[in-house]
Structure 1
């Protein structure tokens, strides 16, 4: 993923860089359906792609500047993961906490045993110490439906631009795989670099 003149972020080769303006999932849908052996598996694949479309639309509406993701078969199910980079600017004179900055992009889950969020500090190569928020969040998929997702937000201050941040957000609906998914999001975020000016 690259935003010209601003940053680069490496995603695995098997991931797809999304076109935020007009992503077409037709090829992915065809490939997934081709390896499914039952009607139920094909319905699951179609549902996963609908979720991916909705996640991408929501990210675009919330100001994503780049996004990438993957949908892959895992035994009888599917594994989905999504990474986007958002630009966030704190209004002059406002003193927002890290959690409030992340809140601009998402909302914590607060039902069915989910909702804990953890704020930590991590070191990114060539960047230094940055804040990270992990937990589960409710992501709206349509006006009527939403889903609980694993989420990781890494908040990176823009150099020489006080109050401006890039937020690398990873999301996945595969709650039982949280530890492995967090490791993937951490590895991807670790490749973040500001582009040379």
Structure 2
């Protein structure tokens, strides 16, 4: 899921990349594409009412995250819908870019995440949300801020329980901040899902390439 920044120094492009499983789909984030993807998923997997509800809940979650946190731009997203004998596994990974600002005007992506989750998101038994830091030194990123847990989102018709992990990154001298947001409705497998999200996020990296003067 590579992303090329538009406001780079003349000599180099600063790139951000993160690896997702090869069989996951890369999303076209236009409204038409999301609607088409939802329609295909319901046609293929929505034969039982509970499965259709789960799919609708997932797309509601995608729309919620996108709508609440794309003020500065959702730049990349990928996800999966996998069918097993005992049910489905669904998940998505989104990459957001925010201006970093300076001093009191600095934008903290994790504060935006906290704003997305009202008190009701962790009011019920089985829900929780923690804010911490994670060491991604192996990726050259050092310590990064992270919020993760199990939350509830109230819709008009149902309560959607979601496993979530949001991790914020910075790159020296680049006036941008990156947030990788991972979500899944598979709350019964929360420990395994969080391990997967941690592994995916751990592949995040910035890198530079020389600008081609002829482009």
Q: Same fold (TM over 0.5)?
A: yes
1:18 deviation in Å? 1.4
Change (3 A) 1:99 1:116: same
Stretch deviating more after TM superposition (122-131 or 14-23): 122-131
- Give the secondary structure class of the aligned counterpart of 2:161: strand
Match of 1:155 among 140, 144, 168: 168
Match of 1:133 among 133, 137, 147: 147
Alignment of 1:81-96 (within 5 A): 81-92=91-102, 93-94=104-105
Alignment length (residue pairs):
188
Alignment of 1:30-179 (within 5 A): 30-33=43-46, 42-61=48-67, 62-63=69-70, 64-92=74-102, 93-94=104-105, 99-107=110-118, 109-113=121-125, 114-124=127-137, 125-139=139-153, 142=155, 145-161=158-174, 164-179=176-191
Equivalent in the alignment of 1:36: none
Q: Which structure 1 segments of 5+ residues have no match? A: 34-38
User: What TM-score do the two structures reach when normalised by structure 1?
Assistant: 0.79
- Give the secondary structure class of the aligned counterpart of 2:122: coil
- Give the secondary structure class of the aligned counterpart of 2:40: helix
Q: Which has the larger radius of gyration?
A: 2
Q: Are residue 4 (structure 1) and residue 4 (structure 2) matched?
A: yes
Once residues 195 and 107 of structure 1 are traced to their aligned partners in structure 2, the CA distance between those partners, rounded to angstroms, is 36
Once residues 157 and 172 of structure 2 are traced to their aligned partners in structure 1, the CA distance between those partners, rounded to angstroms, is 40
User: What TM-score do the two structures reach when normalised by structure 2?
Assistant: 0.73
1:63-92 per-residue CA deviation (whole Å, 9 max, x = no partner) reads 122111112223332221111112233554
Q: Are residue 18 (structure 1) and residue 27 (structure 2) matched?
A: yes
Once residues 31 and 126 of structure 1 are traced to their aligned partners in structure 2, the CA distance between those partners, rounded to angstroms, is 41
Once residues 87 and 129 of structure 1 are traced to their aligned partners in structure 2, the CA distance between those partners, rounded to angstroms, is 18
Judge conservation of contact 2:166–2:180 (CA < 8 Å) in 1: yes
Q: Which structure 2 segments of 5+ residues have no match? A: 6-14, 210-215
1:160-186 per-residue CA deviation (whole Å, 9 max, x = no partner) reads 135x32111111121121111011111
Compute the RMSD of aligned alpha carbons.
2.7
Q: If each structure's helix is expressed as a fraction of its own residues, which one has the higher value?
A: 2
Change (3 A) 1:156 1:186: same
